A and B are shown apart, each in its own frame.
Chain A
């Protein structure tokens, strides 16, 4: 419903200058989805911090030349950790790492999944049957356990986390995309396109792909939050990003060992993860409402 409203608004202002149209669309979004707007603000802050990390951070992410276990003070705003690294700087650099992992893994994983799903649903038959069994197999593992197994053989590195996430994300994205194409395939406009002699390629790119875009966007936002949490969880367990990388999850590993002495070590990275996941989920819910994709939540950040 909102999507219709937005489309109408978009059509109404289509003739006006570009900037005004965007302003109106944004205004509509804030009005219809106030929580989504809060989420969007949090996500924008995350992106800005990630891009400007070298200028915002007061020290390097791996610099260890300070006293260990300093409580927050005016030179080290969030204190220093067990190795004498500045926690504020690491949290700021961590934003860049989280965003990098979230965007690349979801960008690659969901895109592969989408192509796979569209292809599988459109071709049907044996190809569909076999690739769907592959999806069954990957989804037959508890997600964190599969990721741990993959990290065990790939070895610790940020890019291997991305790779493990791609393996984790693409099959479920393929399944969602497939079901959405399966229902679109039966639409009368696809039938009529076929009746007037459109080629398969034309049907897929002119009719199916544009109609799947909403599903794709929702899959994307929902999974970025998921990917960030999985990266943090893997790093927390010591099998994600290497310990010297400023990963929010990795920072918590050191923190649990000195909770009594330095609770602030857990507080700031923990807050950062919560805030980002909260923001992305709010934004994802709002986008889901706007695009009106009938999807079940991919609930759970386990």
Chain B
């Protein structure tokens, strides 16, 4: 167990460094120099004045130093939460992140909770009542949920809201702590739209795991010793069936991060996703770097937790 954890952690470090290196170098791929873009995007200046300003911005950004030094400085600052200065929003990137990050996390958690709340019970029902109309209904719904790309289910949801309830994406976002009710009414629709999509594989996995488990000897033993059917299902079968489901949710939850970007755009939620698209459109590279880095970190951390959780919960892995 200890050995496995150490090995997994040791693989984590180079991956983490590699991710930060790519994010750092990505911005260097921009044709031309960031300083030049910043200056010329800002407005038309006389040629010599512009040149002087480019030099000044280069120095401000530390672009005149060797690239290794630049990388280490950027990494060092990032570890203490200093992601630089946004030239577009004219404030530190950390402020932008601090404002937008909680909103995205709220949306992500709401989505995941909703998905789990209906996916697992439906998966269990579909397995227990295998080959009945309930089972077919659950399977058809989950398959169609999967074959609809995420941005389409979002648009579809938006269309029905617009057509039936005259609901439009709010112009102004209301925070959770200002007015929880209004906040929830803004976030619930993107959460449902994405939960429909991510719940499909959770439902399918729960079903197939339950089908495997209810044929096991210990379930038959539990039945033959006279336990009631609900007790057999929930305390013997479901507990064992859920192990792979839990780890899958962790892995799948990481992929939800990409979907959050799409949902935020469709439903006008001012979170990390809309922040990323805005920053890209305004060539606000420090913000782009910070958001991509943060999303990648969460993704990596989730993968790590899933692997470790697996080792904790399944003794067979520990000695592999």
Chain A contact residues, CB within 8 Å of chain B: 133-134, 136-138, 140-146, 148-155, 229, 232-233, 236-239, 249, 252, 255-256, 259-260, 263, 266, 270, 273-274, 277-278, 281, 299-302
The reply to whether B295 and A145 form a contact with Cβ atoms under 8 Å apart is yes
Chain B's nearest CB lies how many Å from the CB of A134?
A: 7
Q: Contact: B295 with A154, CB < 8 Å?
A: no
Question: With A140-B18, A145-B261, A149-B23 in contact, is A301–B155 under 8 Å at CB?
Answer: no
User: Would you call A134 and B255 a contact (CB within 8 A)?
Assistant: no
* CB-based nearest B residue for A282: B147
Asked if residues B265 and A237 are in contact (CB atoms below 8 Å), the reply is yes
Pick from B24-32, B222-230, B234-242 the stretch touching chain A. Answer: B24-32
Given A134-B18, A142-B257, A238-B277, also A270-B155 (CB < 8 A) = yes
Give the segment of B38-46, B156-164, B211-219 that binds chain A. Answer: B156-164
A33 to B299, CA, bound (A): 37
* A136 to B21 Cα, complex, angstroms: 13
CB within 8 Å for A237 and B155 given contacts A136-B11, A143-B255, A300-B255? no
Determine whether the beta carbon of A144 is less than 8 Å from that of B259. yes
Q: A141-B296, A142-B299, A270-B155 are in contact. Are A153 and B27 (CB under 8 A)?
A: yes
| Chain B residues with CB below 8 A from A155, complex form | 31
Question: Cβ of B98 < 8 Å from any Cβ of A?
Answer: no
Assess the B155–A256 pair: CB atoms within 8 A: yes
Residue of A nearest to B266 (CB): A256
Q: Which residues of the partner chain B approach A143 to less than 8 Å between Cβ atoms?
A: 255, 258
In the complex, A28 Cα to B85 Cα: how many Å? Answer: 63
Q: Tell me if B147 and A144 are in contact (CB < 8 A).
A: no
The reply to whether B149 and A301 contact each other, CB–CB distance below 8 Å, is: yes
From A134, A136, A239, name the one whose CB has the most chain B CB atoms within 10 angstroms: A136
Find residues 272-320 in chain B having any chain A CB closer than 8 Å to their own CB.
Answer: 276-277, 279-281, 285, 288, 292, 295-296, 299-300, 303
Are A273 and B288 interface neighbours, CB within 8 A?
no
Contact at B19–A302, with CB atoms within 8 Å? no
Contact of B262 among A141, A236, A278 (CB under 8 A): A236
Given known A-B contacts A260-B162, A270-B155, A278 and B257 have beta carbons under 8 A apart:
no
The reply to whether B22 and A142 contact each other, CB–CB distance below 8 Å, is: no
Q: Which residues of A contact B19 (CB under 8 A)?
A: 137, 140-141
Q: How far is the CB of B15 from chain A (nearest CB, A)?
A: 4
Residues of B within 8 A of A (CB): 11, 14-16, 18-19, 21-23, 26-27, 29-31, 146-152, 155-156, 158-159, 162-163, 197, 201, 252, 254-259, 261-262, 265-266, 276-277, 279-281, 285, 288, 292, 295-296, 299-300, 303
Q: Is the CB of B158 within 8 A of A274?
A: no
Q: Which residues of B contact A281 (CB under 8 A)?
A: 147
> Which of B22, B276, B277: most chain A CB closer than 10 A?
B22
Write 21 A-B pairs (CB below 8 A) sorted by A numbering: A136-B15, A140-B15, A140-B18, A141-B19, A141-B22, A142-B254, A143-B255, A145-B257, A145-B296, A148-B276, A149-B26, A149-B292, A151-B280, A236-B262, A237-B277, A259-B159, A270-B152, A301-B150, A302-B150, A302-B259, A302-B262
Complex A-B, nearest 8 residue pairs according to Cβ-Cβ distance, in ascending order: A144-B258, A137-B18, A152-B280, A142-B257, A142-B258, A302-B259, A136-B15, A153-B29
Measured CA separation A133–B148 after assembly (Å): 33
Bound: A134/B300 CA distance, A: 14
Which of B31, B163, B288 is the one whose CB lies under 8 Å from A149? B288
Q: Do A259 and B158 contact each other (CB < 8 Å), given the known contacts A142-B296, A145-B296, A153-B27?
A: yes
Complex Cα gap A43–B284 (Å): 41
Contact across chains for A277 and B149 when beta carbons are under 8 A apart: yes
* Interface contact B158-A140, CB-CB below 8 Å: no
When the two chains form the complex, which single residue of B31, B146, B261, B288 contacts A299, counting CB atoms closer than 8 Å? B146
Quote the shortest CB–CB distance from A225 to chain B (angstroms). 10
Cα distance A236–B266 in the bound complex, in angstroms = 10
A267 vs chain B, min Cβ distance (A): 9
In whole Å, how far is A35's beta carbon from the nearest beta carbon of chain B?
11
A150 touches B262 (CB 8 A): no
Which of B258, B279, B292, B296 counts the most A-chain CB atoms under 10 A from its CB? B258
What is the bound-complex CA distance between A134 and B21, given in angstroms?
Answer: 11
**What CA separation (Å) do A239 and B266 show in the bound complex?**
15
State the CA gap A300–B257 with chains docked (Å).
12
Residues on A with beta carbons closer than 8 Å to the beta carbon of B288: 149, 152
Verify A140–B152 contact, CB threshold 8 A. no
Greatest chain B CB density within 10 A among A142, A143, A273, A274 is at A142
Residues of A within 8 A of B279 (CB): 152
The distance from the CB of A250 to the nearest CB of chain B, in whole angstroms, is 11
Residues of B within 8 A of A260 (CB): 162-163
Chain A nearest CB: distance from B291 CB in Å? Answer: 8
Scoring B201, B279, B280, B285 by chain A CB atoms within 10 A of each residue's CB, the highest score goes to B280
Q: In the bound complex, do residue A239 and residue B255 qualify as a contact, i.e. CB atoms below 8 Å apart?
A: no
Cross-interface CB contact of B15 among A137, A259, A263, A300, cutoff 8 Å: A137
- B26 and A150 contact, CB distance less than 8 A: yes
CA distance A133 to B12 in the complex (A): 10
B146 touches A255 (CB 8 A): no
Give CA–CA (A300, B309) in the complex, Å.
23
Q: Which of A149, A153, A238 contacts B281 (CB 8 A)?
A: A238
